[in-house]
Amino acid sequence: MMADSFLPPPEGAVTLFDGTNLDHWVQRRGGGAAAWPIEGGAMTTRGGDILSRDKFENFHLHIEFYCPDSPPEVKGQGRSNSGVFLQGRYEVQVLDSWGVENPGRGDCGALYNQAAPLVNACKRPDEWQSYDVIFRAPRFDAGGNKVESARATVLQNGRVVQNNQELRGQTGGAMDEDYAAPGPILLQDHGNQVRFRNVWVAPLPAAGADHY
Ligand code: MG
């Protein structure tokens, strides 16, 4: 079943995964070619984090994810945990948080440990879901001082779960703290069998024209 909020990639988007191969991805550890298994147009987390070869500054990311159901005795952070790291530094949490009444900073749709989702937009486990993330890179002055923090707006299954949320710094497990540099999309292998498909990034300019 296709995700209901799915839009085709806009012109200029970089398709990072179309279901056929991982040519756009490398392993976090060692930098070799990514080798997550692909089946039915989806990749499954296995053997460590992977990251895109392309690096991005300001962008719109679309990604679809699937959290398999877990046995009832598996709780909280053990339920289909993964994550989508923006610039390899800021994690949008992936977790089976279906039915969680008041989701917190560790739940699905959170900017991990910084900002809980505004609403619980999760579908049941064993269903495809989507994230659309609009990321605004932090701004620096000529002297290299940060003058504006990174910001992210996140739609989960078409619902806003992060509204232009400030990111005060990197989240746990970040690749680096090189905030002024472009960074990749990083997908977390947290030891669960989470799947991803239809991954694209549309780079955005830092600003529009300054004329009227
Ligand atoms: Mg995670």
Closest CA to 89 of 181, 193, 153, 25: 181
Question: From the CA of 107, how far away is ligand 1's center (Å)?
Answer: 9
Please tell me the distance from the alpha carbon of residue 199 to that of residue 17, in angstroms, as a whole number.
Answer: 5
Q: What is the pLDDT of residues 119-171, one digit of tens each?
A: 999 999 999 999 999 999 999 999 999 999 999 999 999 999 999 999 999 99
Say how many Å lie between the CA of residue 82 and the centre of ligand 1: 4
Each domain of the chain, given as residue ranges in start order, spans 14-130+156-203
Residues 6 or more apart from 44 whose CB is under 8 A from it?
Answer: 36, 37, 38, 193, 194, 195
Residue 68 Cα to ligand 1 middle (Å): 15
Q: Could you tell me the fold of the domain covering 14-130+156-203?
A: Jelly Rolls (2.60.120)
Q: Exposure pattern of 103-134 as b/e (b: 16+ CB <10 Å)?
A: beeebbbbbbebbbbbebbbbebeebbbbbbb
Q: Which one, of 18, 15, 96, lies nearest residue 61 by Cα? A: 15
User: 3-class SS at 23?
Assistant: coil
Rounded to the nearest angstrom, the distance between the alpha carbon of 113 and the centre of ligand 1 is 10
Q: 182: pLDDT confidence band, cut at 50, 70 and 90?
A: very high
- Ligand 1 centre to CA of 70 (Å) is 16
Q: Give pTM, 2 decimals.
A: 0.95
Distance 5 CA to ligand 1 centre (A): 23
